[in-house]
A and B are shown apart, each in its own frame.
Chain A
Amino acid sequence: MATSIKANNKKKKKVSLNFLFALPYAVVFFTFVVLLIIISIGLSFFYYDTINIPHFVGLDNYVSLFTRDSDFLQYALPNTIKYALIVGLCGYLLSFIMAWVLAQLTHRIRTILAVILYSPSLTSAVMMTVVWRVLFSGDTRGYLNSLLINWGFISTPIQFLQGPGFIFGIMIFVGLWSSMSVGFLAMLSGILNINKELYEAAYIEGMKSRFQEIFYITIPSMKPQMLFGAVMSIVGTFNSAGLATTLSGSTPPPQYAGWLIVDHMNDYGFARYEMGYASAISVVLLLIVGIFYLVAKKLFTEKD
Protein backbone atom coordinates (compact mmCIF):
# COMPACT_ATOMS: atom_id res chain seq x y z
CA MET A 1 0.00 0.00 0.00
CA ALA A 2 2.70 2.43 1.04
CA THR A 3 4.80 1.59 -1.97
CA SER A 4 1.88 2.05 -4.32
CA ILE A 5 1.28 5.54 -2.91
CA LYS A 6 4.97 6.26 -3.31
CA ALA A 7 4.85 5.01 -6.89
CA ASN A 8 1.81 7.11 -7.47
CA ASN A 9 3.54 10.16 -6.05
CA LYS A 10 6.54 9.51 -8.20
CA LYS A 11 4.35 9.23 -11.23
CA LYS A 12 2.63 12.48 -10.36
CA LYS A 13 5.93 14.24 -9.99
CA LYS A 14 7.01 13.07 -13.42
CA VAL A 15 3.75 14.24 -14.90
CA SER A 16 4.19 17.73 -13.50
CA LEU A 17 7.75 17.87 -14.85
CA ASN A 18 6.46 17.12 -18.34
CA PHE A 19 4.43 20.28 -18.14
CA LEU A 20 7.65 22.28 -17.99
CA PHE A 21 8.15 21.66 -21.71
CA ALA A 22 4.96 23.52 -22.49
CA LEU A 23 5.40 26.14 -19.79
CA PRO A 24 7.38 28.85 -21.63
CA TYR A 25 4.99 28.75 -24.54
CA ALA A 26 1.98 28.50 -22.24
CA VAL A 27 3.08 31.69 -20.46
CA VAL A 28 3.43 33.81 -23.64
CA PHE A 29 0.34 32.21 -25.13
CA PHE A 30 -1.68 33.04 -22.05
CA THR A 31 -0.32 36.59 -21.77
CA PHE A 32 -0.55 37.62 -25.39
CA VAL A 33 -3.54 35.66 -26.63
CA VAL A 34 -5.88 34.46 -23.87
CA LEU A 35 -5.38 37.37 -21.50
CA LEU A 36 -5.80 39.94 -24.27
CA ILE A 37 -9.15 38.46 -25.21
CA ILE A 38 -10.23 38.40 -21.55
CA ILE A 39 -9.16 42.03 -21.08
CA SER A 40 -10.98 43.03 -24.26
CA ILE A 41 -14.19 41.48 -23.01
CA GLY A 42 -13.77 42.83 -19.47
CA LEU A 43 -12.78 46.34 -20.48
CA SER A 44 -15.68 46.60 -22.90
CA PHE A 45 -17.96 47.10 -19.87
CA PHE A 46 -15.90 50.01 -18.55
CA TYR A 47 -15.07 53.56 -19.38
CA TYR A 48 -11.28 53.84 -19.40
CA ASP A 49 -9.16 56.72 -20.68
CA THR A 50 -5.77 55.21 -19.56
CA ILE A 51 -5.30 57.99 -16.95
CA ASN A 52 -8.24 57.72 -14.55
CA ILE A 53 -9.32 54.51 -12.91
CA PRO A 54 -11.77 52.63 -15.18
CA HIS A 55 -15.39 52.86 -14.04
CA PHE A 56 -18.09 50.36 -14.78
CA VAL A 57 -20.66 51.40 -17.37
CA GLY A 58 -22.39 48.10 -18.04
CA LEU A 59 -23.52 47.62 -21.62
CA ASP A 60 -23.28 51.33 -22.42
CA ASN A 61 -20.39 50.90 -24.83
CA TYR A 62 -22.26 48.27 -26.82
CA VAL A 63 -25.47 50.25 -26.72
CA SER A 64 -23.87 53.39 -28.12
CA LEU A 65 -21.90 51.32 -30.62
CA PHE A 66 -25.07 49.82 -32.06
CA THR A 67 -27.42 52.75 -31.67
CA ARG A 68 -25.51 56.03 -31.82
CA ASP A 69 -22.21 55.41 -33.59
CA SER A 70 -23.19 56.14 -37.17
CA ASP A 71 -19.60 55.87 -38.44
CA PHE A 72 -19.55 52.32 -37.13
CA LEU A 73 -22.99 51.32 -38.37
CA GLN A 74 -22.79 53.04 -41.74
CA TYR A 75 -19.17 52.43 -42.65
CA ALA A 76 -17.02 50.24 -40.41
CA LEU A 77 -19.40 47.31 -39.94
CA PRO A 78 -20.80 46.95 -43.47
CA ASN A 79 -17.39 47.65 -45.04
CA THR A 80 -15.72 45.00 -42.91
CA ILE A 81 -18.33 42.37 -43.71
CA LYS A 82 -18.27 43.24 -47.40
CA TYR A 83 -14.47 43.24 -47.47
CA ALA A 84 -14.26 39.93 -45.59
CA LEU A 85 -16.85 38.25 -47.79
CA ILE A 86 -15.34 39.44 -51.04
CA VAL A 87 -11.64 39.21 -50.28
CA GLY A 88 -11.89 36.25 -47.91
CA LEU A 89 -14.18 34.17 -50.06
CA CYS A 90 -12.88 35.11 -53.51
CA GLY A 91 -9.28 34.99 -52.28
CA TYR A 92 -9.93 31.54 -50.90
CA LEU A 93 -11.57 30.28 -54.08
CA LEU A 94 -8.78 31.80 -56.15
CA SER A 95 -6.19 30.10 -53.92
CA PHE A 96 -7.90 26.75 -54.39
CA ILE A 97 -8.31 27.12 -58.14
CA MET A 98 -4.70 28.26 -58.58
CA ALA A 99 -3.48 25.42 -56.36
CA TRP A 100 -5.47 22.89 -58.35
CA VAL A 101 -4.28 24.21 -61.69
CA LEU A 102 -0.67 24.33 -60.49
CA ALA A 103 -0.94 20.70 -59.40
CA GLN A 104 -1.48 19.76 -63.06
CA LEU A 105 1.96 21.09 -64.00
CA THR A 106 5.42 19.62 -63.66
CA HIS A 107 7.51 20.26 -60.58
CA ARG A 108 9.82 23.00 -61.80
CA ILE A 109 7.22 25.16 -63.56
CA ARG A 110 4.89 24.67 -60.62
CA THR A 111 7.49 25.80 -58.09
CA ILE A 112 8.33 28.97 -60.00
CA LEU A 113 4.68 29.89 -60.48
CA ALA A 114 3.82 29.07 -56.86
CA VAL A 115 6.58 31.40 -55.61
CA ILE A 116 5.27 34.17 -57.89
CA LEU A 117 1.67 33.73 -56.75
CA TYR A 118 2.70 33.56 -53.11
CA SER A 119 5.09 36.51 -53.13
CA PRO A 120 2.48 39.33 -52.86
CA SER A 121 1.45 38.00 -49.47
CA LEU A 122 5.00 38.62 -48.28
CA THR A 123 4.64 42.35 -48.77
CA SER A 124 3.13 44.48 -46.06
CA ALA A 125 0.35 46.84 -46.96
CA VAL A 126 2.28 49.88 -45.86
CA MET A 127 5.33 49.00 -47.92
CA MET A 128 3.27 48.65 -51.06
CA THR A 129 1.65 52.06 -50.60
CA VAL A 130 4.15 53.65 -52.93
CA VAL A 131 3.14 51.28 -55.71
CA TRP A 132 -0.60 51.76 -55.40
CA ARG A 133 -0.29 55.50 -54.86
CA VAL A 134 1.76 55.89 -58.02
CA LEU A 135 -0.28 53.44 -60.10
CA PHE A 136 -3.59 55.01 -59.08
CA SER A 137 -2.36 58.57 -58.75
CA GLY A 138 -5.05 61.11 -59.57
CA ASP A 139 -3.06 63.20 -62.05
CA THR A 140 -2.02 62.37 -65.57
CA ARG A 141 1.29 61.01 -64.24
CA GLY A 142 -0.59 58.17 -62.55
CA TYR A 143 0.11 55.02 -64.54
CA LEU A 144 -3.47 53.86 -64.77
CA ASN A 145 -4.76 57.32 -65.69
CA SER A 146 -2.02 57.72 -68.27
CA LEU A 147 -2.91 54.37 -69.82
CA LEU A 148 -6.63 55.08 -69.87
CA ILE A 149 -6.06 58.49 -71.44
CA ASN A 150 -3.70 57.00 -74.00
CA TRP A 151 -6.22 54.36 -74.98
CA GLY A 152 -8.93 56.98 -75.21
CA PHE A 153 -11.22 55.67 -72.48
CA ILE A 154 -11.16 58.91 -70.53
CA SER A 155 -10.09 62.46 -71.29
CA THR A 156 -9.44 63.78 -67.77
CA PRO A 157 -7.69 61.80 -65.04
CA ILE A 158 -9.85 59.98 -62.50
CA GLN A 159 -9.33 60.87 -58.81
CA PHE A 160 -8.92 57.25 -57.72
CA LEU A 161 -7.59 57.93 -54.24
CA GLN A 162 -9.15 61.28 -53.42
CA GLY A 163 -12.81 60.43 -53.89
CA PRO A 164 -14.69 57.74 -52.00
CA GLY A 165 -15.82 55.90 -55.14
CA PHE A 166 -12.71 53.94 -55.92
CA ILE A 167 -10.90 53.44 -52.63
CA PHE A 168 -12.94 50.42 -51.56
CA GLY A 169 -12.55 48.82 -54.97
CA ILE A 170 -8.79 49.36 -54.91
CA MET A 171 -8.67 47.91 -51.38
CA ILE A 172 -10.41 44.79 -52.60
CA PHE A 173 -8.06 44.54 -55.55
CA VAL A 174 -5.04 44.86 -53.26
CA GLY A 175 -6.56 42.38 -50.81
CA LEU A 176 -7.12 39.81 -53.56
CA TRP A 177 -3.70 40.50 -55.01
CA SER A 178 -2.07 39.46 -51.74
CA SER A 179 -4.55 36.75 -50.77
CA MET A 180 -2.50 33.70 -51.74
CA SER A 181 -0.72 33.05 -48.50
CA VAL A 182 0.09 30.02 -46.41
CA GLY A 183 -3.38 28.59 -46.99
CA PHE A 184 -2.67 28.49 -50.71
CA LEU A 185 0.55 26.55 -50.11
CA ALA A 186 -1.28 24.17 -47.77
CA MET A 187 -3.97 23.46 -50.33
CA LEU A 188 -1.39 22.99 -53.09
CA SER A 189 0.46 20.53 -50.92
CA GLY A 190 -2.81 18.82 -50.03
CA ILE A 191 -3.78 18.33 -53.67
CA LEU A 192 -0.33 16.96 -54.52
CA ASN A 193 -0.52 14.42 -51.72
CA ILE A 194 -3.82 12.84 -52.66
CA ASN A 195 -3.40 9.17 -53.45
CA LYS A 196 -3.38 8.86 -57.25
CA GLU A 197 -5.08 5.46 -57.12
CA LEU A 198 -8.21 7.23 -55.90
CA TYR A 199 -8.48 9.05 -59.21
CA GLU A 200 -7.71 5.97 -61.22
CA ALA A 201 -10.34 3.98 -59.39
CA ALA A 202 -12.90 6.73 -59.83
CA TYR A 203 -12.31 6.93 -63.58
CA ILE A 204 -12.73 3.19 -63.91
CA GLU A 205 -15.93 3.51 -61.86
CA GLY A 206 -17.28 5.90 -64.45
CA MET A 207 -16.21 9.39 -63.44
CA LYS A 208 -16.24 11.43 -66.60
CA SER A 209 -14.67 14.82 -66.21
CA ARG A 210 -12.04 16.72 -64.36
CA PHE A 211 -14.79 18.86 -62.97
CA GLN A 212 -16.33 15.85 -61.25
CA GLU A 213 -12.89 14.87 -60.10
CA ILE A 214 -12.62 18.09 -58.06
CA PHE A 215 -15.92 17.54 -56.28
CA TYR A 216 -15.82 13.78 -55.78
CA ILE A 217 -12.14 13.15 -55.12
CA THR A 218 -10.04 16.27 -54.59
CA ILE A 219 -12.09 18.25 -52.08
CA PRO A 220 -13.33 15.29 -50.01
CA SER A 221 -9.78 13.91 -49.75
CA MET A 222 -8.26 17.15 -48.49
CA LYS A 223 -10.93 18.61 -46.22
CA PRO A 224 -8.45 19.16 -43.36
CA GLN A 225 -6.22 21.25 -45.66
CA MET A 226 -9.26 23.07 -46.99
CA LEU A 227 -10.14 24.04 -43.42
CA PHE A 228 -6.59 25.17 -42.68
CA GLY A 229 -6.63 27.22 -45.87
CA ALA A 230 -9.97 28.74 -44.92
CA VAL A 231 -8.74 29.70 -41.45
CA MET A 232 -5.59 31.23 -42.90
CA SER A 233 -7.56 33.32 -45.37
CA ILE A 234 -9.94 34.49 -42.63
CA VAL A 235 -6.99 35.54 -40.46
CA GLY A 236 -5.21 37.18 -43.38
CA THR A 237 -8.30 39.08 -44.46
CA PHE A 238 -9.07 40.49 -41.03
CA ASN A 239 -5.43 41.30 -40.35
CA SER A 240 -5.11 43.45 -43.46
CA ALA A 241 -6.43 46.73 -42.21
CA GLY A 242 -5.73 50.40 -42.46
CA LEU A 243 -5.38 50.11 -46.20
CA ALA A 244 -7.85 52.90 -46.87
CA THR A 245 -5.96 55.38 -44.71
CA THR A 246 -2.60 54.51 -46.28
CA LEU A 247 -4.04 54.66 -49.79
CA SER A 248 -5.77 58.01 -49.37
CA GLY A 249 -3.11 59.36 -47.03
CA SER A 250 -5.69 60.74 -44.60
CA THR A 251 -7.39 59.49 -41.44
CA PRO A 252 -10.28 59.05 -41.81
CA PRO A 253 -10.27 58.56 -45.60
CA PRO A 254 -12.63 60.71 -47.68
CA GLN A 255 -16.21 60.05 -46.56
CA TYR A 256 -15.01 57.02 -44.59
CA ALA A 257 -14.54 55.02 -47.79
CA GLY A 258 -13.02 51.65 -46.96
CA TRP A 259 -13.15 52.39 -43.24
CA LEU A 260 -12.96 49.01 -41.44
CA ILE A 261 -13.75 47.92 -37.89
CA VAL A 262 -10.04 47.71 -37.15
CA ASP A 263 -9.58 51.34 -38.24
CA HIS A 264 -12.49 52.37 -36.04
CA MET A 265 -11.02 50.48 -33.09
CA ASN A 266 -7.56 52.01 -33.53
CA ASP A 267 -9.15 55.42 -33.89
CA TYR A 268 -10.95 55.13 -30.55
CA GLY A 269 -8.09 53.32 -28.82
CA PHE A 270 -5.05 55.27 -29.87
CA ALA A 271 -6.35 58.62 -31.09
CA ARG A 272 -9.16 59.26 -28.57
CA TYR A 273 -7.89 57.00 -25.79
CA GLU A 274 -11.34 55.58 -25.14
CA MET A 275 -10.01 52.13 -24.33
CA GLY A 276 -13.30 50.71 -23.08
CA TYR A 277 -15.16 51.69 -26.20
CA ALA A 278 -12.30 50.43 -28.38
CA SER A 279 -12.46 47.11 -26.50
CA ALA A 280 -16.17 46.78 -27.23
CA ILE A 281 -15.33 47.29 -30.90
CA SER A 282 -12.66 44.62 -30.78
CA VAL A 283 -15.05 42.16 -29.10
CA VAL A 284 -17.46 42.69 -31.97
CA LEU A 285 -14.62 42.10 -34.40
CA LEU A 286 -13.57 38.90 -32.62
CA LEU A 287 -17.17 37.68 -32.75
CA ILE A 288 -17.33 38.29 -36.49
CA VAL A 289 -14.07 36.38 -36.98
CA GLY A 290 -15.52 33.60 -34.83
CA ILE A 291 -18.64 33.35 -36.97
CA PHE A 292 -16.53 33.07 -40.13
CA TYR A 293 -14.46 30.36 -38.44
CA LEU A 294 -17.52 28.37 -37.38
CA VAL A 295 -18.92 28.44 -40.91
CA ALA A 296 -15.61 27.23 -42.35
CA LYS A 297 -15.40 24.52 -39.72
CA LYS A 298 -18.92 23.34 -40.44
CA LEU A 299 -18.11 23.10 -44.15
CA PHE A 300 -14.91 21.16 -43.88
CA THR A 301 -15.12 19.01 -40.79
CA GLU A 302 -15.39 15.34 -41.60
CA LYS A 303 -18.42 13.73 -40.07
CA ASP A 304 -17.65 10.46 -38.46
Chain B
Amino acid sequence: MSTQVKRKKKRSKFLGTMINPTHFHRSQIKFLLIVLPFAILMLLPMIFIVSHAFKPFSELYAYPPKFFVRRPTLDSFRMLFRITSQAGVPLVRYLFNSLIQAVGVIFFTLFFGSLAAYSFSFLSYRGKKILFGANQIAIMFVAVAVAVPRYIVMNKLGLINNYFSLIIPLIAMPVGVFLLKQFMDQIPLELIDAAKIDGANNFQIYLRVVVPLVKPALATVAILSFQAAWNNTEASSLFVDDESLKTLAYYFSTMSLGSSALANQGISAAASLMMFLPNIVFFILVQNQVMNTMAYSGMK
Protein backbone atom coordinates (compact mmCIF):
# COMPACT_ATOMS: atom_id res chain seq x y z
CA MET B 1 0.00 0.00 0.00
CA SER B 2 2.62 2.44 1.07
CA THR B 3 4.84 1.62 -1.93
CA GLN B 4 1.91 2.32 -4.19
CA VAL B 5 1.44 5.72 -2.66
CA LYS B 6 5.14 6.34 -3.01
CA ARG B 7 5.10 5.36 -6.64
CA LYS B 8 2.17 7.67 -7.29
CA LYS B 9 4.05 10.48 -5.64
CA LYS B 10 7.07 9.81 -7.80
CA ARG B 11 4.97 9.84 -10.91
CA SER B 12 3.43 13.20 -10.07
CA LYS B 13 6.88 14.57 -9.34
CA PHE B 14 7.90 13.46 -12.79
CA LEU B 15 4.94 15.17 -14.41
CA GLY B 16 5.73 18.37 -12.60
CA THR B 17 9.22 18.59 -14.05
CA MET B 18 8.73 17.47 -17.60
CA ILE B 19 10.99 18.39 -20.47
CA ASN B 20 9.42 21.11 -22.63
CA PRO B 21 6.55 21.96 -20.24
CA THR B 22 3.47 23.66 -21.58
CA HIS B 23 2.70 25.65 -18.45
CA PHE B 24 4.65 27.49 -15.86
CA HIS B 25 5.09 25.63 -12.62
CA ARG B 26 6.95 26.80 -9.54
CA SER B 27 9.26 23.80 -9.86
CA GLN B 28 10.73 25.57 -12.90
CA ILE B 29 11.94 28.50 -10.81
CA LYS B 30 15.11 26.67 -9.79
CA PHE B 31 16.01 26.18 -13.46
CA LEU B 32 15.40 29.84 -14.15
CA LEU B 33 17.72 30.68 -11.27
CA ILE B 34 20.46 28.59 -12.88
CA VAL B 35 20.18 30.23 -16.30
CA LEU B 36 19.60 33.82 -15.29
CA PRO B 37 23.12 34.59 -14.00
CA PHE B 38 24.58 33.24 -17.25
CA ALA B 39 22.07 35.14 -19.34
CA ILE B 40 22.95 38.36 -17.53
CA LEU B 41 26.67 37.72 -17.97
CA MET B 42 26.14 37.10 -21.69
CA LEU B 43 24.00 40.18 -22.02
CA LEU B 44 26.19 42.66 -20.14
CA PRO B 45 28.77 43.25 -22.91
CA MET B 46 25.90 43.75 -25.38
CA ILE B 47 24.22 46.27 -23.10
CA PHE B 48 27.58 47.95 -22.68
CA ILE B 49 27.99 48.31 -26.46
CA VAL B 50 24.53 49.80 -26.84
CA SER B 51 24.98 52.10 -23.88
CA HIS B 52 28.47 53.18 -24.93
CA ALA B 53 27.41 53.89 -28.50
CA PHE B 54 24.83 56.44 -27.35
CA LYS B 55 26.97 58.18 -24.74
CA PRO B 56 27.87 61.83 -25.30
CA PHE B 57 31.57 62.69 -25.27
CA SER B 58 31.56 63.83 -21.64
CA GLU B 59 30.18 60.49 -20.42
CA LEU B 60 32.56 58.37 -22.50
CA TYR B 61 35.55 59.59 -20.54
CA ALA B 62 33.88 60.38 -17.24
CA TYR B 63 35.60 59.37 -14.05
CA PRO B 64 34.54 57.19 -12.35
CA PRO B 65 33.20 55.40 -15.46
CA LYS B 66 29.45 54.93 -15.69
CA PHE B 67 28.11 51.73 -17.22
CA PHE B 68 24.75 53.08 -18.38
CA VAL B 69 24.19 56.09 -20.59
CA ARG B 70 22.53 59.10 -18.91
CA ARG B 71 21.80 61.45 -21.78
CA PRO B 72 21.78 59.39 -24.98
CA THR B 73 22.85 61.13 -28.19
CA LEU B 74 23.51 60.07 -31.76
CA ASP B 75 26.83 61.96 -31.82
CA SER B 76 28.96 58.83 -32.18
CA PHE B 77 26.88 57.59 -35.10
CA ARG B 78 27.04 60.99 -36.76
CA MET B 79 30.80 61.04 -36.40
CA LEU B 80 31.03 57.48 -37.66
CA PHE B 81 29.23 58.42 -40.84
CA ARG B 82 31.16 61.65 -41.24
CA ILE B 83 34.62 60.13 -41.04
CA THR B 84 35.90 58.47 -44.15
CA SER B 85 38.93 56.32 -44.49
CA GLN B 86 42.29 57.90 -45.26
CA ALA B 87 41.88 56.64 -48.82
CA GLY B 88 38.81 58.83 -49.11
CA VAL B 89 36.22 56.06 -49.23
CA PRO B 90 32.94 56.99 -47.54
CA LEU B 91 31.39 54.64 -45.01
CA VAL B 92 28.35 54.07 -47.19
CA ARG B 93 30.59 52.50 -49.80
CA TYR B 94 31.93 49.96 -47.28
CA LEU B 95 28.37 49.22 -46.22
CA PHE B 96 27.33 48.71 -49.85
CA ASN B 97 30.26 46.33 -50.42
CA SER B 98 29.35 44.39 -47.30
CA LEU B 99 25.77 44.02 -48.53
CA ILE B 100 26.92 42.82 -51.96
CA GLN B 101 29.23 40.32 -50.29
CA ALA B 102 26.54 39.07 -47.89
CA VAL B 103 23.84 38.74 -50.55
CA GLY B 104 26.23 37.05 -52.97
CA VAL B 105 27.49 34.58 -50.39
CA ILE B 106 23.97 33.73 -49.21
CA PHE B 107 22.68 33.28 -52.75
CA PHE B 108 25.46 31.01 -53.99
CA THR B 109 25.71 29.04 -50.75
CA LEU B 110 21.98 28.34 -50.83
CA PHE B 111 21.78 27.64 -54.56
CA PHE B 112 24.87 25.41 -54.90
CA GLY B 113 24.35 23.84 -51.50
CA SER B 114 20.70 22.95 -51.98
CA LEU B 115 21.37 21.46 -55.42
CA ALA B 116 24.10 19.29 -53.96
CA ALA B 117 21.96 18.33 -50.96
CA TYR B 118 19.12 17.41 -53.33
CA SER B 119 21.45 15.17 -55.29
CA PHE B 120 22.66 13.54 -52.06
CA SER B 121 19.10 12.90 -50.89
CA PHE B 122 17.27 11.82 -54.02
CA LEU B 123 19.60 11.10 -56.92
CA SER B 124 22.11 8.39 -57.63
CA TYR B 125 25.35 8.85 -59.52
CA ARG B 126 28.93 7.70 -59.40
CA GLY B 127 31.06 9.35 -56.79
CA LYS B 128 28.13 10.47 -54.67
CA LYS B 129 29.23 8.46 -51.66
CA ILE B 130 32.77 9.83 -51.82
CA LEU B 131 31.60 13.41 -52.22
CA PHE B 132 29.10 13.12 -49.37
CA GLY B 133 31.66 11.39 -47.18
CA ALA B 134 34.22 14.10 -47.87
CA ASN B 135 31.64 16.77 -47.11
CA GLN B 136 30.77 15.00 -43.86
CA ILE B 137 34.39 15.06 -42.70
CA ALA B 138 34.79 18.64 -43.91
CA ILE B 139 32.14 19.81 -41.45
CA MET B 140 34.98 20.09 -38.98
CA PHE B 141 37.07 22.01 -41.51
CA VAL B 142 38.67 24.98 -39.79
CA ALA B 143 38.87 27.65 -42.46
CA VAL B 144 41.43 29.85 -40.70
CA ALA B 145 43.90 26.97 -40.70
CA VAL B 146 44.41 27.16 -44.46
CA ALA B 147 44.58 30.91 -44.95
CA VAL B 148 47.97 30.58 -46.67
CA PRO B 149 46.95 28.17 -49.46
CA ARG B 150 43.69 30.09 -49.87
CA TYR B 151 45.70 33.22 -50.52
CA ILE B 152 47.85 31.35 -53.06
CA VAL B 153 44.85 29.79 -54.83
CA MET B 154 42.99 33.10 -55.05
CA ASN B 155 46.07 34.69 -56.59
CA LYS B 156 46.66 31.86 -59.08
CA LEU B 157 42.99 31.94 -60.12
CA GLY B 158 43.25 35.69 -60.61
CA LEU B 159 40.29 36.18 -58.27
CA ILE B 160 41.72 39.44 -57.04
CA ASN B 161 40.25 42.88 -56.76
CA ASN B 162 36.62 42.34 -57.68
CA TYR B 163 33.38 41.46 -55.95
CA PHE B 164 33.85 37.78 -56.69
CA SER B 165 37.02 37.86 -54.56
CA LEU B 166 34.80 38.70 -51.61
CA ILE B 167 32.18 36.08 -52.40
CA ILE B 168 33.70 32.94 -53.90
CA PRO B 169 36.04 31.86 -51.06
CA LEU B 170 33.06 31.81 -48.69
CA ILE B 171 30.63 29.70 -50.71
CA ALA B 172 31.77 26.20 -49.77
CA MET B 173 29.95 25.53 -46.52
CA PRO B 174 29.96 21.80 -45.69
CA VAL B 175 27.80 22.20 -42.61
CA GLY B 176 25.18 24.01 -44.69
CA VAL B 177 24.98 21.19 -47.22
CA PHE B 178 24.79 18.70 -44.37
CA LEU B 179 21.87 20.50 -42.69
CA LEU B 180 20.01 20.85 -46.00
CA LYS B 181 20.51 17.18 -46.80
CA GLN B 182 19.33 16.09 -43.35
CA PHE B 183 16.20 18.19 -43.77
CA MET B 184 15.53 16.87 -47.26
CA ASP B 185 15.79 13.31 -45.95
CA GLN B 186 12.57 13.98 -44.02
CA ILE B 187 10.55 14.55 -47.20
CA PRO B 188 8.41 11.47 -47.90
CA LEU B 189 9.48 9.74 -51.11
CA GLU B 190 5.81 9.47 -52.16
CA LEU B 191 5.82 13.21 -52.84
CA ILE B 192 8.81 12.88 -55.15
CA ASP B 193 7.29 9.86 -56.88
CA ALA B 194 3.98 11.65 -57.36
CA ALA B 195 5.78 14.55 -59.02
CA LYS B 196 7.66 12.12 -61.25
CA ILE B 197 4.38 10.52 -62.34
CA ASP B 198 3.11 13.99 -63.20
CA GLY B 199 6.02 14.22 -65.60
CA ALA B 200 8.29 16.58 -63.68
CA ASN B 201 12.01 16.26 -64.31
CA ASN B 202 14.63 16.31 -61.58
CA PHE B 203 15.17 20.05 -61.72
CA GLN B 204 11.45 20.76 -61.59
CA ILE B 205 11.11 18.44 -58.59
CA TYR B 206 13.98 20.27 -56.93
CA LEU B 207 12.50 23.70 -57.61
CA ARG B 208 8.77 23.09 -57.09
CA VAL B 209 8.61 20.26 -54.54
CA VAL B 210 11.80 20.15 -52.52
CA VAL B 211 12.80 23.81 -52.18
CA PRO B 212 9.41 24.95 -50.79
CA LEU B 213 9.48 22.10 -48.26
CA VAL B 214 12.95 22.86 -46.90
CA LYS B 215 12.49 26.57 -46.30
CA PRO B 216 13.43 26.26 -42.59
CA ALA B 217 16.75 24.66 -43.52
CA LEU B 218 17.34 27.27 -46.22
CA ALA B 219 16.69 30.03 -43.68
CA THR B 220 19.13 28.39 -41.28
CA VAL B 221 21.89 28.08 -43.85
CA ALA B 222 21.16 31.64 -44.96
CA ILE B 223 21.78 33.00 -41.49
CA LEU B 224 24.90 30.87 -41.00
CA SER B 225 26.39 32.07 -44.27
CA PHE B 226 25.32 35.64 -43.53
CA GLN B 227 27.22 35.52 -40.25
CA ALA B 228 30.28 34.13 -41.99
CA ALA B 229 30.20 36.83 -44.67
CA TRP B 230 29.19 39.80 -42.55
CA ASN B 231 31.97 39.30 -40.00
CA ASN B 232 34.61 38.29 -42.56
CA THR B 233 37.69 40.48 -42.79
CA GLU B 234 40.05 38.05 -44.49
CA ALA B 235 38.70 38.47 -48.02
CA SER B 236 38.93 42.25 -47.86
CA SER B 237 42.41 42.32 -46.42
CA LEU B 238 44.01 39.62 -48.59
CA PHE B 239 42.09 39.35 -51.86
CA VAL B 240 41.20 42.98 -52.51
CA ASP B 241 43.66 45.87 -52.80
CA ASP B 242 41.26 48.49 -54.01
CA GLU B 243 40.06 50.37 -50.95
CA SER B 244 36.70 51.10 -52.57
CA LEU B 245 35.95 47.34 -52.74
CA LYS B 246 36.60 46.57 -49.07
CA THR B 247 33.88 45.81 -46.55
CA LEU B 248 32.54 47.33 -43.38
CA ALA B 249 33.91 44.54 -41.18
CA TYR B 250 37.37 45.11 -42.59
CA TYR B 251 37.20 48.88 -42.23
CA PHE B 252 35.97 48.67 -38.66
CA SER B 253 38.64 46.14 -37.79
CA THR B 254 41.42 48.45 -39.01
CA MET B 255 39.76 51.29 -37.17
CA SER B 256 39.45 49.46 -33.86
CA LEU B 257 42.94 47.97 -34.10
CA GLY B 258 44.66 51.29 -34.53
CA SER B 259 46.17 53.15 -31.62
CA SER B 260 43.34 55.65 -31.82
CA ALA B 261 40.89 52.93 -30.80
CA LEU B 262 40.60 54.02 -27.22
CA ALA B 263 40.38 57.64 -28.24
CA ASN B 264 37.47 56.76 -30.45
CA GLN B 265 35.60 54.56 -28.03
CA GLY B 266 32.22 56.01 -28.88
CA ILE B 267 32.73 55.59 -32.61
CA SER B 268 34.05 52.06 -32.14
CA ALA B 269 31.04 51.16 -30.03
CA ALA B 270 28.71 52.61 -32.64
CA ALA B 271 30.53 50.57 -35.30
CA SER B 272 30.28 47.38 -33.24
CA LEU B 273 26.59 47.96 -32.74
CA MET B 274 26.15 48.46 -36.48
CA MET B 275 27.89 45.14 -37.11
CA PHE B 276 25.96 43.27 -34.43
CA LEU B 277 22.42 44.51 -35.09
CA PRO B 278 21.82 42.90 -38.50
CA ASN B 279 23.09 39.58 -37.12
CA ILE B 280 20.77 39.51 -34.15
CA VAL B 281 17.73 40.87 -35.99
CA PHE B 282 18.18 38.28 -38.75
CA PHE B 283 18.55 35.52 -36.17
CA ILE B 284 15.47 36.54 -34.19
CA LEU B 285 13.44 36.59 -37.39
CA VAL B 286 14.38 33.03 -38.32
CA GLN B 287 15.05 31.45 -34.91
CA ASN B 288 11.97 29.26 -35.18
CA GLN B 289 13.15 27.80 -38.46
CA VAL B 290 16.66 27.37 -37.07
CA MET B 291 15.37 25.34 -34.13
CA ASN B 292 13.25 23.33 -36.53
CA THR B 293 16.30 22.55 -38.69
CA MET B 294 18.49 21.72 -35.73
CA ALA B 295 16.14 18.88 -34.84
CA TYR B 296 17.71 16.99 -37.75
CA SER B 297 21.30 18.04 -37.15
CA GLY B 298 22.36 14.72 -35.67
CA MET B 299 25.62 13.29 -37.00
CA LYS B 300 26.30 9.59 -37.13
Q: Which residues of A contact B (CB under 8 A)?
A: 15-16, 18-19, 21-22, 24-26, 28-29, 31-37, 39-40, 43, 50, 94, 98, 101-107, 109, 111, 113-120, 122-124, 126-135, 137, 140-143, 146, 150, 177, 180, 182, 185-186, 188-194, 196, 199-200, 203-204, 210, 222-225, 227-228, 231-232, 234-235, 238-239, 241, 246, 249, 262, 265-266, 269-270, 275, 278-279, 282, 285-286, 289-290, 293, 301-302
Contact = CB atoms under 8 A, between A and B. Distances in A.
B264 to A, nearest CB: 9
B32 A109 contact: yes
B143 A239 contact: yes
Contacts of B150: 32, 36
B122 to A, nearest CB: 9
B252 interface: yes
A170 B42 CA distance: 15
A102 to B, nearest CB: 6
Given A29-B172, A204-B7, A289-B142, 10 more contacts: A21-B115, A39-B153, A105-B35, A117-B39, A134-B265, A182-B294, A188-B291, A199-B18, A231-B140, A239-B144
Contacts of A235: 139-142
Contacts of B188: none
B35 A98 contact: yes
B295 A18 contact: no
Query: 7 smallest A-B Cβ distances: which pairs?
Result: A224-B298, A25-B116, A124-B231, A21-B119, A39-B149, A189-B294, A130-B268
Contacts of B41: 177
A275 B148 contact: yes
A266 B283 CA distance: 31
Interface stretch (B44-52, B81-89, B96-104, B190-198): B44-52
B39 A116 contact: yes
Contacts of B126: 15-16, 19
B272 interface: yes
Contact of B19 (A16, A104, A142, A285): A104
A141 B152 contact: no
B135 A16 contact: no
A122 B149 contact: no
Interface of B: 7, 10-11, 14, 17-24, 28, 31-32, 34-35, 38-39, 41-43, 45-46, 48-49, 52, 61, 63-65, 67, 108, 111-113, 115-116, 118-120, 123-128, 131, 134-135, 138-153, 157, 168-169, 171-172, 174-175, 177, 202, 206, 224, 227, 231, 233, 238, 249, 252-253, 256-257, 259, 261-262, 265, 268-269, 271-272, 275-276, 279-280, 283-284, 287, 290-292, 294-295, 297-300
Q: What's the dominant secondary structure at chain A's contact region?
A: helix
A140 B62 CA distance: 11
B42 A269 contact: no
Contact of A177 (B45, B141, B153, B271): B45
Contacts of B279: 122-123
